Amino acid sequence: MDPARYADLFRTESREQLSAVNRALLAIEQGDESREPVDAIFRGVHTIKGMSATMGYTAVAEFSHELESLLEKVRDGEQGISAELMDALFAAADALEDGVERARDGDAMGDSMRRALERLHDVAGGRSTAEFRVMLPTGATLEAAATVAPSAALDGPGTLVHVEQESTTMLAGVRAFMVIQRLRELGEVHGAEPSVEKLQAATAPQRFIVRVTTTAGSAELERAVRSAGDVASVRIEERVAAPAAPVMRPSTPVVIEGRMPARPSVPVMIEGRIAEDILDEPSAHPLRRASDVFGVADALGPAERGAAPRARHVRIELARLDALLNLVGELVIVRGRLQAVARDVAMPALDEAMAEASRLIGDLQAEIMTSRLVPVGQVFDRFPRLVRDVARQLGKDVLFSIEGKEIEIDRSVLDEIGEPVVHLLRNAVDHGLEMPVVREAAGKPRAGRLVLAAFRDRSSVVITVKDDGRGIDRAKVLSRAIALGFVPTGTERLDDDTLLRCIAHPGFTTSDHVTAVSGRGVGVDAVISRTRALGGSVELTSEPGRGTQMTMRLPVTLAIVRALLARVGNERYALPLTHVRETLERGPALVRPVQGHDMLVLRDEVMPLLRLRDVVRMGGTHDAGREEIVVMERGDRRAGLIVDELIGQEDIVVKAFDGARDGLALFSGATILSDGAPALIMDVGSLL
């Protein structure tokens, strides 16, 4: 087992814990006086302490221990909650985060952690007295710790009592202890798997085996065990001789001779056990084996252990999921090619096999796509803290809320949108929302409202950041845009689109001063380029005095989309089907010139009509007698696109461009078609 492999897991887990801690701190600051947030903070810090101790990250472990001691005082009501304490706790959470991120590099406690501790002690008074030692002896490696043989507690003569606790068991450790106590009344308890101490400290219902020698019969044993309460099942296994015992598989009815083989190194890490195991009292039950903490044992037979019906999760490196996705992408392309071949060959047996393979590939693709989806809450959860800090820094009151946390989106898309959303939130607090006095003077509530929302819109996820602030000063933007030459002199009004284009221009700012928060004029630009790189788009609406809303529209998944293939000249282009509303054959009745431009008249609607040939500057005229029109739509905007010919639909694998994006604004990526030829994917947003 390689400790380095766990370093990432440690960081991920710790970040999750820290985000819970921050959430709870905010809840307290917002007046939640219940125990829950304090307990949540406690749990988070405690978990980090246990994990860092196991990893040998002494500084983080010590810091969390100190923090925990102080929290204990808060929890027990010895330490009142004051504004200073809250600030100190926020600072401590930051320092802990810093420590977690740096833990791998070195062991000494960094400045941020030291300062945070001093501050905490200033506020709370007095250093904690409890002694804390990192559990792993120095020099002991995780590897050595992990290869400790499974407990020999069950080897030897006697009766094996297999116990499974109810999934609803509370204080399961106490119940397990009571089982052992009841068995002790009937005979001698020699050992248990997991060990008695571990059982006693467990917080979740469990399965365990106890070895006893007793004169009591099975029925009596079972009655005794059940009298301890919350026992779901008991199985008594009489032993004649004293062979080695099965250790990890309590449900195996056959007694396996010999010890479990040495633990294989387990490449997957089981999620969900970690926190629970670390929640064992570390003082009473030191975490003796890294495997205890990281649940390696569970990887051997998760089905056999843990009676609780907890969701079984496997942590997989994102790179592996990416690899899977790429493979399935290639498979989808090959499928297209095979289908084309099968059509030419016209062999019924081949067609049948092809149809079956095709369906399976489709299922595989859907599964892999789904496995990559994560709720946006994973990233959004850290924003309340950020908004609070920015608002405080600027002296503003902000009521921040998040909607649609549960909306799921592809992991790689989510990873990319964190930063853009941060830009938008900062901008909203800094430029959008007014100072409390200004708001009051304008007859608005002191606290500005800021809403971050996510929702599904067909195959897109829409993320909006909306404030009820002053709105964008169009006159100011207009005069500056004219001065910078972005719009022709004499322009009288900026519509929302042009407004967005102006403020998105790198270096454009109407802010008279640059604050630490924003105002450097890079924000919106960065948001737009990042969103477009993901195949999404950004819209803006702003009303003076009423507020501003930024809308990011993103694909739910990257990589594989269904597209309509259109031909212009000898080139084929892919139009993502998400944005295709309908297709038409071009007829004279459909096209009408309006103010010198051809417009598409479709039922009651009139919309701009573009010729793809012109858009890609191919020149020439169409070759065939007829042309076809694709009606594209995004949000409530539509346009017709004239192409030479529509070829058909195909699943395409989107390959992003690596190089410079300038000059490729029309395309969101490229793909290889089923016949092996490359094609460009139109960025519909840029056409509308």
Partner 1 sequence: MRTMVGDILTQAGFEIVGEAETGKQAVERYKALRPDLVTMDIVMPDMGGIDAVREITAFDPGAKVLMCSAMGQQSLVVEAIQAGAKDFVVKPFQPSRVLEAVQRVLG
Q: What is the Cα–Cα distance from 309 to 167, expressed in whole angstroms?
A: 7
Q: Which residues, 6 or more positions from 69, have their beta carbon under 8 angstroms from its beta carbon?
A: 128, 130
Nearer to partner 1, 229 or 418 (CB): 229
Task: Determine the length of the chain.
Answer: 688
Q: What share of the chain is helix, strand, coil (3-state, %, to 5)?
A: 40, 25, 35
Binding part of the chain for partner 1, among 165-173, 206-214, 255-263, 266-274 by CB under 8 A, reads 165-173
**CA 383-387-393 angle, 5° bins:** 145
Does 3 help bind partner 1 (rule: CB under 8 A)?
A: no
Chain-centroid distance of CA 92 in Å reads 24
Q: Give whichever of 170 and 437 is closer to partner 1, judged by the CB atom.
A: 170
Q: Which is nearer to partner 1, 42 or 508 (CB)?
A: 42
In angstroms, give the least distance from the CB of 134 to partner 1.
21
Nearer to partner 1, 277 or 650 (CB): 277
**DSSP result, 87-156:** HHHHHHHHHHHHHHHHTTT--SPPHHHHHHHHHHHHHH-S--------SSPTT--HHHHHTPPPP-TT-S
Query: Is there binding between residue 170 and partner 1 (CB under 8 A)?
Result: yes
Distances (CA, A) of 571 to 340, 438, 680: 19, 57, 9
| Residue in the structure block whose two tokens are 């004499």 | 490
Instruction: Kindly state the DSSP code that residue 432 receives in the 8-state scheme.
Output: I
Task: Please report, as residue ranges, which positions from 365 to 394 form the binding site for partner 1 (by CB under 8 A).
Answer: none
Which structure tokens are listed for 15? 């970040």
Nearer to partner 1, 266 or 279 (CB): 279
Query: Contact between 203 and partner 1 (CB under 8 A)?
Result: yes
**Least distance (Å) from partner 1 to the CB of residue 185?**
12
Smallest gap, in angstroms, from Cβ of residue 228 to partner 1?
A: 8
Question: Would you say 192 or 354 has its CB closer to partner 1?
Answer: 192
Comparison of 151 and 203: residue with beta carbon closer to partner 1: 203
* Cβ within 8 Å of residue 594, ≥6 positions away: 606
How far apart are CB 163 and partner 1 at their closest, in Å?
A: 16
19: contact with partner 1 by CB under 8 A: no
- Smallest gap from Cβ 202 to partner 1, in A, equals 9
Which range in 198-206, 245-253, 443-451, 656-664 contacts partner 1 by CB under 8 A?
Answer: 198-206
CB of 199 to partner 1, least distance (A): 11
Interface pattern 112-151 for partner 1 (x via CB under 8 A) = ----------------------------------------
Amino acid identity of residue 179, one-letter, is: V
Tokens of 411: 């992991």
Residues 6+ apart with CB under 8 A from 235: 161, 162
Decide whether 223 or 239 has the Cβ nearer to partner 1: 223
x-or-dash pattern for partner 1, window 267-286, by CB under 8 A?
--------------x--x--
Report the residue from 17, 19, 47, 200 that binds partner 1 according to the rule CB under 8 A: 200
Q: Shortest gap between Cβ of 22 and partner 1 (angstroms)?
A: 22
Q: Within positions 209 to 238, which residues make up the interface with partner 1, using CB under 8 A?
A: 227, 229
**Distance (Å, whole) CA 102 – CA 111:** 12
Burial of 541 (0-12, 13-18, 19+ CB in 10 A): middle
Contact 586, 626 (CB under 8 A): yes
Binding residue (CB under 8 A) for partner 1 from 39, 143, 352, 457: 39
Mapping DSSP onto H, E and C, the string for 498-537 reads HHHHHHCCCCCCCCCCCCCCCCCCCHHHHHHHHHHHCCCE
Round to whole Å and give the CA distance between 673 and 574. Answer: 9
* 33 lines the binding site for partner 1 (CB under 8 A): no
| Residue 63: HSE in the Cβ half-sphere, 13 Å Cα cutoff | 32
Question: Between 174 and 193, how does the x/- string for binding to partner 1 read (CB under 8 A)?
Answer: x--xx--x------------
Q: Minimum distance from CB of 275 to partner 1 (Å)?
A: 14
341 vs 674: CA distance, rounded Å: 10
- In whole angstroms, the minimum distance from the beta carbon of 67 to partner 1 comes to 17
Q: How many CB atoms lie within 10 A of CB 215?
A: 7
Q: Whose Cβ is closer to partner 1: residue 122's or residue 281's?
A: 281
Compute the least distance from the CB of residue 177 to partner 1, in Å. Answer: 5
Q: Which is nearer to partner 1, 286 or 436 (CB)?
A: 286
Asked if 552 and 527 count as a contact pair (C-beta separation under 8 A), the reply is yes
Residues touching partner 1, count (CB under 8 A): 15
Q: Of the listed pieces 57-65, 145-153, 171-179, 622-630, which binds partner 1 according to CB under 8 A?
A: 171-179
In the complex, minimum distance from the CB of residue 172 to partner 1, in angstroms, rounded to a whole number:
9
CB of 77 to partner 1, least distance (A): 11
- Interface with partner 1 (CB under 8 A): 39, 170-171, 173-174, 177-178, 181, 200-201, 203, 227, 229, 281, 284
